[in-house]
Structures are given as C-alpha cells and as structure tokens.
Structure 1
C-alpha cells in the first residue's frame, strides 16, 4: 500500500513553504499559526524527517523540505486539475487577478471600467502585491507580471505591453540640468530607483553606464517613485503609458530625448487548464486587446 501522510499536514507544509512564514500560511488556511505549526510537526513525525528549520529569523526549508516541496506542489496541482476537469470551473466566486500596484494603479485602473462595461456579469477580485501570486496553488486565476516572458510548467503567458523607458523629472529639476549630457546630469542628480527597474539598460544606451549618480533613492513601487519625482526629489525612469497624467499636466517632463525599448514586458499569465473558464478567456482577451491599442 502506498505511504500517504496526513493531507492536512501536507496542506500546512505547502502553505508555509510557499508563504515563508506561519502567519501568512495560517491566513491562507484560515487556522491559527499554532495549528499550522502543529500540523507541520505532525507531518515531520510521520516522515521521520525535518522539513523546516526554525531559526531566530523565522523558518527555512531543509534540503529534504526543498525536495519534498516540489513533489507536494505538483501533487496539489494535479488534484486541482482533476477536480476542475470533473466539476468544471467554479463560477460562484470572483475571478482573482494578481498584479503589482505599479501596473494596477498606473495602467489597469484607468481602463478597468471598459472591462466592467463589456462584462458586467464577471466579478473581479484584484490582488495587489509586489509578490507574485502562486497560480499553481489557486491563489489567483490570472496575473499581470513583468518579466522576460519565460514561464515554467503549465503556465502560459500572453504579451500585454512591450515597454519603452525614458527618464522623467520635475520642471524644476530639468532647469538645473538643461544643456548637460545624460552622464553630466546624472552625476549631479538624485537617481530614483525601483527594486525591479531598467535604469541599467537606459544608462548603457545613453553612454552613461559608468556614471555614479550624486545620490540614490530606492522605492519598491513605481507610483511612489513618480510622486517623489513630481516633488523634485530626483529623476525617475518612466515607462510608456505609466505616467501619462503627470506628463499631460506638466508636472513631469522628459529631460533627454533618448527612449529605449527594454527586453522585459508585461504579460497576462495563467494555467493552461484555467483557460476553460470563460471568465479567464474574457479577461485575457480584453487585457491583451487593451495592450495592443496602446501599442498601435
């Protein structure tokens, strides 16, 4: 007979491995952190192996835990696919769309009413976080992700937005650097950086890859960087279509003519088997069409 450990223990372990801490795992499972810990310890006792190492900084997977995680995630994904094939998509709950606040605030929300008008029957739940939702576990139905367009396993991604970038700053900052080359200007300015930006690509194209800016400000989110730039705190790298309101209002200007296409882009990502859900198809088709309208 196959050796199968406790399903509750497996669920708790998978949630902790994915979330990285007991608190987030407990929220996902809707139980207490102590209950999550108890279930994981029970699983470890069943297996006779330590899966999680408890440290003063939190939890981390042991070598055995890392190996086991891959198999457990695949098993849950297989169960989810089998259930979906048997019962069909669950249309009673909202369609969950995961995205970062950057594309949510700056690009999706100004257009979102068009989707709601076209599909009033579809209820959407927006999950905004800089952490990528785990689509294989059902954390979200679709995601808008920025990256090179490479997806593992049964994930599928369709291009939404190809991006070009150029620096933006307040008019007061532009007055101080007017007439300077990019290298000269940046050496005297504060560079506003994001944890995921493409400044290196633009600097290289501008012949300023070697330049060390006078100061740096780093933010996790593009919208915060834009607000800082509007208030004259530095130069932010603008992404096509993401700062249109500020440019139209004149609160941000482009100090250099150079605009550079970047390798990364925004994609709508989903599991192949979720495409059977008509709501997934509707959102995918709409968001891809919106991206094409901007690129046209």
Structure 2
C-alpha cells in the first residue's frame, strides 16, 4: 500500500487551493502564513513534484496540484459529511437517507413533504451521489445495481421503457402507442453504461435490433437526460417508478410498444441492518411501502 503524505501538509494545501492565498489558508487553520508555506513545501518534497507554479503571478496550481485537489475534494467531502451527520445526530434525532442523484431528484424530492409529515419529530438529511462515486455514509441506503445478499429490499419495478414528451411526439406525428424509434433521437447517459441500460443493451434486452445510424446524444447525468426529454430533445429510458410524477401529469409519455426486464434496480437497506434504531427502521419501511406501490 502506497504511503500517504502527512495530514498537516494535505490540509494546508487543500486550504490554500480552495482560498487562493496562503493568508486565508492560515486564518482557516489558525496558524501563521510561514507555517502554511512550510507545510506545502514539505508536501511537495514528499511527493517529488511542485503543486504550485510560483514562477507566475498570480501563483497557479500545476497539473499535479489540480489532480491532488480533485482527489482531496472527494476525500474531505466525505469526512465533512460524516462529521456533520455525527454532530447533528448528537443534537437530536437525525436520519440520513443516501441515494443515487436521479432517485433523489425524481422520486424522493416529490415525496419529501409526505415524508416530513409522517416523521415530524425527526430531522431528515438527504445525500445524493452520482454513479461511480464512493458510497456516502447514511442511515438509510438506496443503491442502484444488481441484487446482493443481505437485508435489502427491492424498490420500484423491474421494467425499463422509453419515454418522450408529447411535444416531441407530436412534431413527428407519433404517439405513445404508435411510434418508430429508428426516427427518434436516443438520449443516453455515458457515465453509467456499466450499471444503467444504454440503448444497445436495452434493445438487446427487449429482443430488438438497434436501428442502424440512429442518432444518439450522450449526457453525464440522469438529471440532464431527463431535462432533455422534458424539453422535447429526444427519447430517454426510464426505470419503472422513477419518473411517475412526470408520467402522471402528462409531461412525458411512455412509449408502450416495447419494454425490457432487468435484474438491476434500486435496493433499500439500513446501515446497521436489523439493529438499526427505530426511527431509521420506520423511515426505511415508509420508503419501501411507497416504492412498492
């Protein structure tokens, strides 16, 4: 295992990179400016590279510095979240729900009012994460993927189907019951191909051939993809239950000729399993009941 640099050097660099000056970093860490400078110099000596280009005014980070800052953003971000959770829990009943960002945006947020009304004495924290990020700490955990052994409950359905806005369909003289996917722009999410369905895998699962020469647009998040669907830019894939709020209002339409069944899906569990405290178990079962309707 690679030896990590000293924590004092990492914190000094992180503060200086975020604030842009050694003076501000020193104020944040309650040390002198020369102390910050010495810690960063020691970190650079340990790593064997310069983290700042001091030959330019104003001083700028080198590529190595930018790479390290990105890594520290993730690591310190998780530490900050965990500390905030611990501090809030010490003040009262706090339950943290962690879920993929698409699930949070399109399934959980529309139900937050109901959730808060059901548990008025509990402070509920919502933490979202993108596909591929490390799992963030939470009391109630919702993950997307294949089934795993353990105390997990499956949420929502297992069908995956295309959706589009009525505006998009009208422009092409199509409807949810009468459409031609080969003449549509297919919206997909590039960062989640290993977990989520992309169009080639969906066509295979549905027993269909991918249209040759189909126009495909890639997005880096599901929220961007859904916004493009709502804006009438093309057709996207929906997991059964995720976009019900838009389907119910008619903002989007399900294309009903084809769908695929997938073993992947959303799975719900408590961080401490069956030993989780009562408030955690109650919220877990509330989400499970809503997700299985």
Q: Distance in 1 between matches of 2:188 and 2:202?
A: 12
* 1:264 CA displacement: 1.1
Pick one of 135, 143, 146 that aligns with 1:148. Answer: 146
Residue matched to 1:65: none
* 1:263 CA displacement: 1.5
Deviations 1:186-233 (A, max 9, x none): 333211112433134431144444434532222233333233123221
Deviations 1:221-266 (A, max 9, x none): 3333233123221111122223333333333223342222211111
Note closer, same or farther for the CA distance 1:91–1:162 as it changes in structure 2 (3 Å cut): farther
Q: Distance in 2 between matches of 1:118 and 1:172?
A: 37
Residue matched to 1:224: 224
Q: Secondary structure at the match of 1:214?
A: coil
Residue matched to 1:127: 127
Please state if 1:160 is matched with 2:123: no
Q: Distance in 2 between matches of 1:193 and 1:162?
A: 20
Pick one of 190, 193, 213 that aligns with 2:188. Answer: 193
Q: Distance in 2 between matches of 1:121 and 1:289?
A: 20
Conservation of the 8 A alpha-carbon contact between 2:163 and 2:254: yes
Q: Secondary structure at the match of 2:158?
A: strand
Q: Secondary structure at the match of 1:58?
A: helix
Q: Distance in 2 between matches of 1:234 and 1:119?
A: 39
Q: Distance in 1 between matches of 2:50 and 2:135?
A: 22
Note closer, same or farther for the CA distance 1:268–1:208 as it changes in structure 2 (3 Å cut): same
Q: Secondary structure at the match of 1:59?
A: helix
Residue matched to 2:24: none
| Aligned residue runs from structure 1 range 33-182, under 5 A | 38=39, 56=64, 58-59=67-68, 90=90, 92=92, 94-130=94-130, 132=133, 134-135=135-136, 139-150=137-148, 157-175=152-170, 176=172, 178=174
TM-score normalized with structure 2 length: 0.62
Conservation of the 8 A alpha-carbon contact between 2:241 and 2:291: no
Aligned-residue Cα RMSD (Å) equals: 4.8
Conservation of the 8 A alpha-carbon contact between 2:163 and 2:237: yes
Q: Distance in 1 between matches of 2:247 and 2:276?
A: 41
Structure 2 unmatched ranges of 5 or more: 19-27, 52-62, 70-74
TM-score normalized with structure 1 length: 0.62
Conservation of the 8 A alpha-carbon contact between 2:268 and 2:284: yes
Conservation of the 8 A alpha-carbon contact between 1:274 and 1:280: no
Conservation of the 8 A alpha-carbon contact between 1:160 and 1:291: yes
Count of residues paired in the alignment: 245
Structure 1 unmatched ranges of 5 or more: 16-20, 61-68, 70-75
